[in-house]
Amino acid sequence: MERQKNKVIQIPRGNIISEGYGLGTLRVLKRKKTTEKQFINLEDIKLAAKTLSSELSKIISDPSLPKEVQEISQVHQLLLEDPFLWKKLEDASADGKIMIEDYKYIRDEIISLLLSTGNPLIQQRVDDIKDLFRNLLLESPEGLDNLKSNVVYSEEFFPSDIIKLSTLGVKALLSTQGSHTTHAAILARAFEIPYIIRLPDLSEYEGKTVFVDAVIGRIVIDPDDANIREFEKITKRYTKEKEKIEKYGRLKFDDIKIMANISVPQEIEVAKRKGADGIGLFRTEFLFVGRDNPPSEEEQYLVYKKALETFYPEEVVIRLLDIGGDKKLEYLPVDDEENPFLGLRGIRLLLKHKEILKTQLRALLRASPYGNLSVLVPMVTLPEDIKGLLRIIHETKEDLLTEGRKIGSFKLGIMVEVPSIIWLIDKINPHIDFVSIGTNDLTQYIFAADRNNPSVSKYYQDEHEIIFEIITTIAEKARNFNLPVSVCGELAGKEDAVEILLQFGVKKFSVSSFKVPFIKRKIYEIQTVKKGNMKAKTSDDPSLLS
């Protein structure tokens, strides 16, 4: 007998970290707990370290594992072998025992030291330190067998959690905390486990059937039998398609580019592997967050250089720091604003804090000799924003040339996300080389609706006819000025929307790396149906695409 249709449990949509679908029983990841006054034997810590080191060595030497997994495991191995760590533990021990309170103090002291070094990936390293100390304390997850082939919720996931869970065939991961740039997030994408963050506490739903749609961020709890059958079909179809679809990443179209969005350097290789035709949006925020001071010019230069080298001669679009709104920096004080999304953010903030902007521009200009650099300016509202930026670019160029630095050519473009730009492109046109339509923020500003706020989610409609009309207007105006147009944001990764956007003359799309082959397949199908032939070429036998 089938269950009756249940009342839908409304779970606010979270942020997608790794795409896919998952259907299973919700299980909560449980950890061993310790109290501050407990003691732990130093020998037990050393034994745990030896076991962990052996596990890491196996991972590092396993060629079947994704490259990202091996690289992150190497980081953990280096941290584990750090003599500074062991000296601190020895000094804190008395009669071979360490109080948990002291143990955690050492952890926090090392984290503070890391935060003061200026490491551009410091937030990831902090998570690694927390993960390492947790494992040495034997606070690893309990009851792992109970998690097999299910959907797993935890307040927060650590890198070692993801590695363990990947061996259990978990269907999806859900968490309250997390970010796109942590090692846990990178590993989830590497293992291709669907993962959504920024969710409310889901512990109360443990034991219930849950469907995770990590393509649009939807979660359905306790669906009825009819829905379960529907979800099973969706999941099977997606899995089957995914197995066949990778070959489409090799497609190269004559006049269309499917590029990748990048949030951390580790995603560069993934994008390359998936067949991206360059980087359409390289977010630089990861360099600036989770630290006490801004990244140096040299740190930034090395990161930008790697991206440009890896994708040469394909275009790499690097966005200037986009901070403000919901993102703040400890070392960049900003007055509290009633509405930060309408306040000091993007280029507005950079023009106020020119020292941050100049350092980033110096690093970018130093990397420009590779010839495939494009610089993207966020939150442009008025022509004065670009004019002010151009003055600083000119000053920065002069400084570098005076120092004897080599500077190459690069393109300058703007994010179209503030509605005013729709009517001001003709005034900004003389100063720029391309435009990139950021559909996420553009939709928020058009409908005055925060896409992460469930109370107004019905107003956030990025496929509404108004949005397509706006994109058409922008594309037509840009075409009149010979400005290339690209679309980034969630809309660019929706196959049905891509077909419409192609009709508007959009030739560049920037999507998450894992969507690259899906979008290429869609374009291949459109061209094949419409023209009866394949206006694409592959490096392999075209028959593979039949």
> In terms of Cα–Cα distance, which of 54, 307, 71 is closest to 187?
71
Rg (CA), the chain: 25
Measure the CA–CA gap between 432 and 412, rounded to whole angstroms. Answer: 5
Q: Residue 231 has what DSSP assignment?
A: H
Mean pLDDT by 10 residues, the chain (546 residues): 54 87 92 70 85 81 73 80 86 86 85 63 68 73 77 90 87 91 84 92 94 90 89 87 86 95 86 95 87 89 95 97 75 72 87 96 96 96 97 97 94 96 94 95 90 76 92 94 93 92 94 92 89 52 46
Measure the CA–CA gap between 404 and 237, rounded to whole angstroms. Answer: 57
Residue 406: other Cβ atoms inside 10 A? 10
CB 50 within 8 A of CB 138: no
Q: Torsions phi, psi of 397, nearest 5? A: -60, -45
- Which residue is it, tokens 């792992």? 144
Answer yes or no: is 372 a known binding residue: no
Burial class (CB in 10 A: 0-12, 13-18, 19+), 442: buried
Q: Write down the catalytic residue from 76, 180, 394, 488.
A: 488
Measure the CA–CA gap between 70 and 61, rounded to whole angstroms. Answer: 8
Answer yes or no: is 440 a known binding residue: yes
CB 389 within 8 A of CB 414: no
Q: Among the CATH numbers 1.10.274.10, 3.40.50.2000, 2.60.40.420, 1.10.10.10, which is that of 39-137?
A: 1.10.274.10
Q: In what order do the strands lie in the sheet with 195-197?
A: 15-18, 195-197, 172-175, 151-154, 21-28, 209-213, 218-221
Q: Residue 372 has what DSSP assignment?
A: -
| Strand, coil or helix: 275 | coil
Instruction: Classify 333 in phi/psi space as left (phi over 0), alpha (psi -120 to 50) or beta.
Output: beta
CB 65 within 8 A of CB 123: no
Instruction: Give residue 34's pLDDT.
Output: 63
Domain spanning 7-31+141-241, CATH class:
alpha beta
- Which residue is it, tokens 């290339």? 484
Give CA 105 to chain center in angstroms.
31
CB 165 within 8 A of CB 249: no
313 preceded by a cis bond (ω within 30 of 0): yes
Answer yes or no: is 451 a known binding residue: yes
Six token digits for residue 7: 């009342």
Q: Write the CB contacts of 50 (distance below 8 Å, at least 6 apart in sequence).
A: none
- H/E element holding 418? none
Q: Is 183 a known active-site residue?
A: yes
Six token digits for residue 54: 């052996």
| Strand, coil or helix: 248 | helix
Q: What is the pLDDT of residues 87-117, one digit of tens each?
A: 888 888 888 888 888 888 888 888 777 666 5
Beta bridge partners of 415: 436
Answer yes or no: is 119 a known binding residue: no
Instruction: Give residue 201's pLDDT.
Output: 93
**Which residues of the chain form CATH 1.10.274.10?**
39-137
Q: Quote the strand ranges of 126-217, DSSP E.
A: 141-142, 151-154, 172-175, 195-197, 209-213
Measure the CA–CA gap between 31 and 25, rounded to whole angstroms. Answer: 19
Measure the CA–CA gap between 457 and 448, rounded to whole angstroms. Answer: 11
Written as one letter, the residue type at 505 is G
Domain spanning 255-535, CATH class:
alpha beta
**Which residues of the chain form CATH 3.50.30.10?**
7-31+141-241
Q: How many residues does the chain have?
A: 546
Burial class (CB in 10 A: 0-12, 13-18, 19+), 63: exposed
Answer yes or no: is 339 a known binding residue: no
Instruction: Give residue 111's pLDDT.
Output: 79
Measure the CA–CA gap between 544 and 335, rounded to whole angstroms. Answer: 57
Instruction: Give residue 127's pLDDT.
Output: 74
Q: Is 394 a known active-site residue?
A: no
> In terms of Cα–Cα distance, which of 451, 427, 449, 425 is closest to 437?
425
CB 318 within 8 A of CB 304: yes
Answer yes or no: is 31 a known binding residue: no
Q: Write down the catalytic residue from 76, 180, 183, 394.
A: 183
Instruction: Give residue 306's pLDDT.
Output: 93
Measure the CA–CA gap between 306 and 312, rounded to whole angstroms. Answer: 10
- Which residue is it, tokens 């097999």? 148
Measure the CA–CA gap between 432 and 380, rounded to whole angstroms. Answer: 12
Six token digits for residue 183: 């090692």
Instruction: Give residue 540's pLDDT.
Output: 44
Q: Write the CB contacts of 480 (distance below 8 Å, at least 6 apart in sequence).
A: none
Q: Write the CB contacts of 394 (distance below 8 Å, at least 6 apart in sequence).
A: none
Beta bridge partners of 259: 510
